[in-house]
């Protein structure tokens, strides 16, 4: 089978927040249809890497090509139009809007977005709660809403930051099924995940970050062999 085409390539990425130099030469690639997980301790630079892809850092240098297009000098709204959807850790649900209004809020950034009916099929809870205010939803429902909202936009690359954080195990299992369903539909996914047991069965490849650099990259098939290294760096 021919290798899938490269969707995202990051080369020698440096990023700053104010005077703080956070990323120090990050290199990684993501192929179309892959699920790639960034592993690392808090403060290793994983969220900054995700935010750098969408241009939400103070300053960034190096190269970030998305579908072959260089985006390092683009503004966030231009980057979104390359088919990128970002789901931040804080979810960003609007309290004064209903569940359905939240879903309909983001503009279309590319053609081929998922229709509302299909989103409700994937997240039946959201259909039941469609008229509820955003903040009346449970943590798991808010997380599903935050992901569902970006599926409507036509984004093909989903950047998911700590989506399992603080959620009950049964909800985490539902999110795992969601990731597999999205992958089956052809989405490309980059996840930042502290919850190693959640991420391990879902990812095709892993990158391990430490002190703003990638220190290791490996395929899912190598996971068992890499466990001693992961114990050392992540304490898993």
Q: Which residues does 101 contact at the CB level (< 8 Å), separation at least 6?
A: 94
Please give the pLDDT value at position 188.
Answer: 97
Please give the pLDDT value at position 1.
Answer: 43
DSSP 164: T
Q: Looking at the domain assignment, is residue 94 inside a domain?
A: yes
Alpha-carbon span 136 to 52, nearest angstrom:
31
Question: Could you list the residue range(s) of the whole structural domain that residue 163 is in?
Answer: 6-234
pLDDT band at 91 (very low <50, low <70, confident <90, very high): confident
Mean pLDDT for the chain? 92
Please give the pLDDT value at position 2.
Answer: 47
Q: Tell me which residue of 154, 20, 74 sits closest to 66, measured CA to CA.
A: 74
Q: Looking at the domain assignment, is residue 1 inside a domain?
A: no
Across 93-109, average pLDDT: 90
CATH number at residue 60: 3.40.50.300
Overall number of domains in the chain: 1
For the stretch 109-125, pLDDT in tens is 888 899 999 999 999 99
What count of Cα atoms within 13 Å lies in the side-chain half-sphere of residue 94?
A: 12
Q: Looking at the domain assignment, is residue 120 inside a domain?
A: yes
Q: Which two tokens stand for residue 223?
A: 């996971």
């Amino acid at each position: 089978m021919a290798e899938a085409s490269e969707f995202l390539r990051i080369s020698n990425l440096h990023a700053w927040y104010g005077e703080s130099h956070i990323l120090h030469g990050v290199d990684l690639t993501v192929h179309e249809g892959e699920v790639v997980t960034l592993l690392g301790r808090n403060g290793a630079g994983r969220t900054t890497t995700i935010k750098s892809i969408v241009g939400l850092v103070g300053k960034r240098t190096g190269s970030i090509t998305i579908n072959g297009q260089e985006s390092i000098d683009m503004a966030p709204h231009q980057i979104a139009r390359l088919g990128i959807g970002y789901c931040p850790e804080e979810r960003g649900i609007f309290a004064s809007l209903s569940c359905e209004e939240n879903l309909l809020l983001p503009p279309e950034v590319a053609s081929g977005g998922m229709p509302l009916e299909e989103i409700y099929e994937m997240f039946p809870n959201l259909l039941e709660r469609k008229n509820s205010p955003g903040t009346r939803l449970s943590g798991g429902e808010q997380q599903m809403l935050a992901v569902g909202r970006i599926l409507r936009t036509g984004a093909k690359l989903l950047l998911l930051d700590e989506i399992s954080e603080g959620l009950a195990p049964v909800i985490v299992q539902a999110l795992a099924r969601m990731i597999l369903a999205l992958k089956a539909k052809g989405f490309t996914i980059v996840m930042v995940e502290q919850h190693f047991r959640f991420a391990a069965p879902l990812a095709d490849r892993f990158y391990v970050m430490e002190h703003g650099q990638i220190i290791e990259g490996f395929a899912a098939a190598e996971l068992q062999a890499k466990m001693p290294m992961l114990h050392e760096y992540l304490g898993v």
